[in-house]
A and B are shown apart, each in its own frame.
Chain A
Amino acid sequence: MEKKVYFKGIALPYLLLLPQIVVTGLFFFWPAAQAVRQSFLREDAFGLSSQFVGFENFVDVLSDPTWLDSAFRTLIFSASVAVLALGVALFLAVQADKHIRGADTYKTLLIWPYAVAPAIAAVLWLFMFHPNIGIFGRMLNALGVPWDYKLNGNQAMLLIIFAAAWKQVSYNFIFFLAGLQSIPKSVLEAAAIDGARPMRRFWTVVFPLLSPTAFFLLVVNLVYAFFDTFGIIHSLTQGGPGKATETLIYRVYTDGVMNLNFGSSAAQSVILMILVIVLTMVQFRYVERKVHY
């Protein structure tokens, strides 16, 4: 879609675009290009000179079993967060969409966690599940379950999954509720008159009509779990114990910022960049087409 009527002038539009172009050029494109360049270079032990090594950094990363472990762990983590956050949000949205007293109050009380930063969500869960000061952490230990997420990798993973999903539910809830409200009431009434029970109505009418929203949210949730959960991991487990909660993003950070292994960090960055590009394209392809099943 394009406008047929527009203003004359060449200098003014460039001037209007200038701030955004300068910022994206300096802080997005230049560093991204540097990351790509560095991913093909390797520095000597003293950081004095670097030489072109082709795809060696990529080969090293992709054949490193600990990197593959991180990749697998990230997959498990992201899938768990997405499924949990989407499932709970859909269930609550269906309940809140019914004609009941106080529906608006429920909505407000379910929407506010959107404002909570991932890192703060992690801190709140730490207050609950700390083995010594957390109410549930102590409860578990008192019940004979040896609970300490700082020693047990699986427990640490479980904790970051719950904290990450907890924070994301409200976002999904808002979108599912908007999706539910856009379903024409006449369609549901027709199904009810045909004798479809509520559960059947949900799976045969409501859910298929919601599936575009659900698909969109699935992509958004995966992106969230991949990239925006850095704060959760950094504040709760620092990737530990051992490497039990080290996701790919966390690894780029440790290899680059802590271990100063620039070539490898850059190669990992480029791999992740390709992943974001694919996910974003999937998301926008969907928007262009507006699939209805």
Chain B
Amino acid sequence: MSVSVTELADRTRRRQRREAFVTHACLVLGVLIFAFPIYLTIIGSTHDVNTIGRGDVPLVPGGEAVANYTQAWGVGGGRFMGVPAGVMLLNSIIMAICVAVGKIAISLTSAYAVVFFRFPLRMLFFWLIFITLMLPVEVRIIPTIQVMVDLNMTNSYQGLIIPLVASATATLLFRQFFLTIPDEYVEAAKIDGAGPIRFFLDVILPLSRTNIAALFVILFIYGWNQYLWPLLIVNDRSMETVVVGLTKMIGSGDSQNEWNVIMATAVLALLPPVAVVVLMQRWFVKGLTETEK
């Protein structure tokens, strides 16, 4: 005997509902795996030092939020000389913005030179920029420190920023993009009597807006999250960036640490980059999948 049409439709609907439920369950679990550590840290930052130190890990907020964040922001924590999170956040923001803007600026001009001009050794310069991809700080630690010492650039913003502004990926991306700009644009500019600088400012920059926005997000995160470089270049604690400063507060992880202040600092260190990614998600996702492919 055959099954009626409504019976079949019912079965399909039930199956689809079941499948949707499983999908939601998996995704919620995934979201929780990523959200839980942050939740725990935020909760920890609202309790006093003894509650956490005793090991009574709370799962609901306590009443010490204002005190903890005030201390983290203005005084710092840890048994060694604390650095206020306010100072470290300012250092991180200056570093991240300057690195992002610097990388974008010098990559735009280099790509423009390589694509829109013909001059001797053009491709050699392009390859020199490309090869820097293969020379991360990690593989040239000691000699780079030596250069920084010789140039008197340790413990300074210039030292934190300038060596990081070279960018092979950004140059490659802009080159790729410039190559798609039709020749007619250049011809039209020439007929109108616009020179290369005029063309760059009035045509190239406006056309590159989306690429610039996307790269800004990626490079801001890159600058904010630097670890080895500030660790090597900075030992004056007033120049500390927040990511390195936070791990210095933890030290070897003694139970007697001021964990409440450390957790408040961790939340403050997370906030700016996460906000940038979430608010600029659309550009960021587009930029990431296009830059690195």
Contacts and interface: CB of A to CB of B under 8 A. Distances in A.
Q: How large is the interface on B (under 10, 10 to 19, 20 to 34, 35 or more residues)?
A: 35 or more
Given A30-B147, A252-B138, A117 B183 contact: no
A3 B247 contact: no
Interface string B192-211: 00011101000000000000
A109 B276 CA distance: 14
Among the interface residues B35, B110, B117, B171, which one has the most CB atoms of the partner chain A within 10 A? B117
B231 to A, nearest CB: 7
B2 interface: no
Given A111-B277, A178-B285, A273-B139, 8 more contacts: A6-B118, A7-B116, A27-B147, A32-B140, A34-B146, A109-B31, A111-B285, A113-B34
A130 B253 contact: yes
Interface stretch (A12-20, A74-82, A187-195): A12-20
19 contacts: A7-B195, A9-B117, A12-B117, A16-B113, A21-B129, A28-B132, A32-B143, A110-B34, A115-B276, A117-B227, A119-B227, A125-B37, A127-B263, A133-B53, A234-B227, A234-B231, A252-B138, A270-B139, A273-B135
Contacts, number: 284
Contacts of A231: 225, 227-228, 243, 247
A238 B252 CA distance: 8
Contacts of B114: 13, 17
Contacts of A126: 250, 253
B288 interface: yes
Given A24-B132, A100-B23, A150-B253, A6 B246 contact: no
Main secondary structure of the interface of A (DSSP, over half): helix
B273 interface: yes
Contacts of B165: 19, 23
A113 B32 CA distance: 12
Interface in A243-286: 249, 252-253, 256-257, 262, 265-266, 269-270, 272-273, 276-277, 280
Interface in A5-48: 5-7, 9-10, 12-14, 16-17, 19-21, 23-24, 26-32, 34-35, 38
Q: Which 5 A-B pairs have the closest CB atoms?
A: A34-B143, A231-B227, A235-B247, A117-B225, A31-B143
A110 B146 contact: no
B288 A174 contact: yes
B179 A3 contact: yes
B31 A138 contact: no
Given A7-B186, A91-B26, A174-B285, A257 B41 contact: no
Contact of B142 (A110, A133, A178, A265): A265
Interface string B75-109: 00000000000000000000000000000011101
B37 A132 contact: no
B142 A120 contact: no
Interface string B178-193: 0100010011001000
Contact of B270 (A35, A116, A128): A116
Nearest to A97: B23
A84 to B, nearest CB: 12
A5 B186 CA distance: 7
A95 B106 contact: no
A93 to B, nearest CB: 10
Contact of A119 (B133, B143, B244): B244
A220 B289 CA distance: 13
A166 interface: yes
Contacts of A7: 116-117, 186, 195-196, 199
